[in-house]
Each structure stands twice: as C-alpha cells, then as structure tokens.
Structure 1
C-alpha cells in the first residue's frame, strides 16, 4: 500500500538522522590554534602546564625531572594520555632506564589505567620510549568513598625510575598529547557534581595556572546521548503506530450493517 511505503521511508530516514546526530555528538572538536601548543612543562601540580585535548605539547628537560601537564576531562569522556621521550645519545648513557606516566584527578587522586602501557623500560641503546594510559569513563557523580574519575582538571606526570645515578641530568625531548572519546549514554548516571573538580577553585593563590575547561564549557552532567535515543524512540513508536493502523484498517468498502438492527 502507498501509505505503508511512505511510513517505511520515513522510518528509514529517521533512523539515518539519529545515527548521524549520535556520530556528531561524539566527534571531538579540532584544535585550530596549533601555534599555541605549549613548549614547556611544569615541575609540580601547582605549576603544571595546561594543554587541551588533541593538542600536542613539547618540552625540553633533564633526565630525572618530574614533568607535569594539566588537561580537562568532562562527563562521559574517556581520556588517553600519550607521552614519547626522545632519549639522549646511547654513548652518553650507562644503563637501561624505566619511564612512567601517572594520571591524577583534581583531588590529586591517582587514577588507574584501564588500557595502555604506563611503564616501560628503555634499553641503553634505545632512541625513544613511548607510554600511554587510558582512563576509565568520567562519571557525572560518585559516592564520596569511591575513587571514580569525575569531571574536572586532570594531571599527567612523567618521570623516570630505576635510573643509574650517572645518567641524571642528561637532556631529553618530550612530546605529550591527550585524546578523548565520548563513551555514550550507556555510561551515563543520574546525579551530578555541584562543580567540577578544579584545584583551588576558591583561591587564586592556590589555583594553578594550568586550570582549563572544555571549549564548550562543562556539561554539568545533564546531557548524554540517551536524550537522542529517547527522542528517536518516541518518533519511531509514533511511526509504528501509523504504519500499524494503515496495515489493519483494510482497503475495501466498510461492510454493510444488516437492516433491522
């Protein structure tokens, strides 16, 4: 029937539109200001250098330094930190060295890596070493006793372990980058924080210069892709109702009512 074909086409078009909207919601915005990429690193939580997601930062340092960067992660996002260290010439080194990245939230609680290689040993003749750490999905709300990742400022710390004393102070070049993905509505929870976990929010003296926020501002925990699927489900239900009616009403003339009833 013509009505059935129209309803089917509307359903297909609606489904395609929903998939397109969901894809757009999860695409991270590109960084258009490459010239502003940081070229140094902090040496403590308070002096951490601010970086934005998908922004590549570089730094020149000495082996043995503690290097810090800070970046924002919002509700529903999964962040992965990447760090590559270009090592000194092999002739200047005396032994293998173990490098490590750690990630802390706004309360300086160390966050576990669900994926990646946060610790790696570089051989004495290695030219570089690459590290990574993928965090758990940031939740909008959590119990006070839990160590769940919450929206706010996160800190990346890079350091070297198990280093021979003779290799302290040798120059290294470091490249870091943070990438984020949207975990989707399946990870959404009810409730939200009053404010994101930003260190020193009430004091300029304790507030690190690295404090940043997402380009579109903090989500506040109210938005997730569940809204898209809820609205889409309502539309599809309405279309199904129209289609069901068109299929069951019949195309012939209504039956005559017997006389005398």
Structure 2
C-alpha cells in the first residue's frame, strides 16, 4: 500500500511539473516573439534615390528599405544604417549596367561595411567581391556581419551598436571603362539572434558619429545644441537589446528546478505514520 501511495504521489507531481512547464512556455512565447525588432521601415519614409561620396555624406537608410542610386564606374558610393545589440545585419547590393554602356572588359565590384569608428568589419559569409563579365547586365553582392554585441574589449574588433557604413566601389576596371553609367540598389536586413549572443556589460553611448558632441537639448532655445551626424535609430531606441530571452529561460529553469525538488521530496518522504509492531513481537 505504501508503495502504491508513493507512486501515485509521484505521478501527480510529475503531472504538475509538465503542466507548469507548458503553461510557462505558452505565457513566455508571445513575450519572446514581441521582442523581435521589426525590419520594415515606416510607411511614410521614402526610400533614398542617391548615395553619398564619403563617410560624412553617406546617405541614411533604414533597415528594410531598398535604396537606389545612379553613378559612374569608378565612383565611391556610401550609405549608412543603424544596427543595435543582438542583430546580425545582412547587406545586399546589386549593380546594374545599362544596355547602352559598352564595356571593354570585365569589372570587379566590392562591398565593404564599416562601423561607427570606421573600422572595416569582416563578413561572416556572402559574396563581398564579384567580377562582372563584359556582357553581364548586373552583378549581386552580399555581406552578412557578425552579431552586434552590447560590449567588447577595447582591443577587439567586434561589431558594436551604432551607425554602420556601406561602401560600394570598383576595385578592378579598365581605364577606358571609367565614367560609364551604372545604377545600384542596396538593402539591409537583420536577424534577431536573441539571448544566445547576449554578453555582460554595455556601451554608455552607441557608436554614432557626433553623438559625443551633441549637447542636452532639454533646454529649448539653447545655442549650444549640436546635431548628430546620423539621425536614424532603431524603432524602440538604442540599447533596446538589454532584454533577451536568456532572462526568460533562466527564470523558467529556476521554477522547474524548484518544482522538481518539491516532487522529489514528495516521492521520498513516505507516509509519515509510525510503523505498527505486530502483537507478541
């Protein structure tokens, strides 16, 4: 009888553990899903139709926008975009050659990405440099960066939250082809990696050019206010990645461990009644 009671108690507690885990998972799933940033830009923002010629004149684009620009072979084309903690940006570019442009040889195009400190960032994967044949009508390039970290050692070259620059240019072209018309399309999308990329610590300010010299604008009419060199930022503000699903699953693990301890105690504590001694023993 005692064994059967213990087994029944264990079954009941196991059922409670499973039910609690399912309820917690169902309650947390919407919160985790809502934490993913939207890659779509606002509907009232028009996609840019030009590109800058240097870091300081780079055209700002929001993630999800398809920016276009016209130029000439040999030009340096620059765009800039914001990237926050926990995101893994992917930059895609397409260079199109008009039918009227007769190239005398193949052309090699390259896509480079720099962070707010103008450090060139390595691509995890993607065709960063490609050669267009003489008769090609377009060439596609892409670069997927490493996940943006909230904090890094000063000597490291890890991607950090802030402004990122895209540079599209020719690296190998015949002299006779310089100046031929080209058109370019650039788009940046990001994947939210989540708590697996979370680290302890964070930057006091994102790596946005000019943010260190921008004064407090709370005092209206202040003549000392200076504009930042980059105006775009994530929809929910910088350092929006401080909340990750790592906190959620850590809490779930602690609750399940506590319930497992309660269930183990119920299985091993026994009935609690003194053992009866047969008469005459």
Q: 1:83 maps to which residue?
A: 93
Instruction: State the alpha-carbon separation in 1 of the partners of residues 71 and 178 from structure 2.
Output: 11
SS of residue paired to 1:238: helix
Instruction: State the alpha-carbon separation in 1 of the partners of residues 58 and 226 from structure 2.
Output: 14
Structure 1 residue 140, shift from structure 2 partner: 1.4
> What does residue range 133-172 of structure 1 map to in structure 2 within 5 Å?
133-172=143-182
Distance change in 2, residues 1:86/1:160 (3 Å): same
Structure 1 residue 13, shift from structure 2 partner: 2.5
Contiguous gaps of at least 5 residues in structure 1: none
Name which of 52, 65, 80 aligns with 1:70. 80
Q: 1:128 maps to which residue?
A: 138
- Structure 2 residue 191 is the aligned partner of structure 1 residue 181: yes
Name which of 243, 247, 250 aligns with 1:227. 247
Q: 1:105 maps to which residue?
A: 115
Instruction: State the alpha-carbon separation in 1 of the partners of residues 200 and 181 from structure 2.
Output: 48
Contact 1:61–1:173 at 8 Å: present in 2 too? Answer: yes
Moved more, 240-249 or 189-198: 240-249
**TM-score (normalised: structure 1):** 0.86
- Structure 2 residue 206 is the aligned partner of structure 1 residue 196: yes
Aligned-residue CA RMSD (Å): 2.7
Q: 2:20 maps to which residue?
A: 10
Instruction: State the alpha-carbon separation in 2 of the partners of residues 78 and 237 from structure 1.
Output: 33
Instruction: State the alpha-carbon separation in 2 of the partners of residues 9 and 221 from structure 1.
Output: 30
Contact 1:69–1:157 at 8 Å: present in 2 too? Answer: yes
Distance change in 2, residues 1:230/1:123 (3 Å): same
Instruction: State the alpha-carbon separation in 2 of the partners of residues 169 and 64 from structure 1.
Output: 6
Instruction: State the alpha-carbon separation in 2 of the partners of residues 220 and 257 from structure 1.
Output: 65
Name which of 256, 259, 280 aligns with 1:239. 259
Contiguous gaps of at least 5 residues in structure 2: 1-10, 215-224
Contact 1:80–1:180 at 8 Å: present in 2 too? Answer: yes
**Deviations 1:183-212 (CA, angstroms, capped at 9, x unpaired):** 22222221111111111221687843x442
Structure 1 residue 76, shift from structure 2 partner: 1.7
Equivalent pairs, count: 257
Structure 1 residue 95, shift from structure 2 partner: 0.9
**Deviations 1:159-190 (CA, angstroms, capped at 9, x unpaired):** 11211122222222211111111222222221
SS of residue paired to 2:92: strand
**TM-score (normalised: structure 2):** 0.81
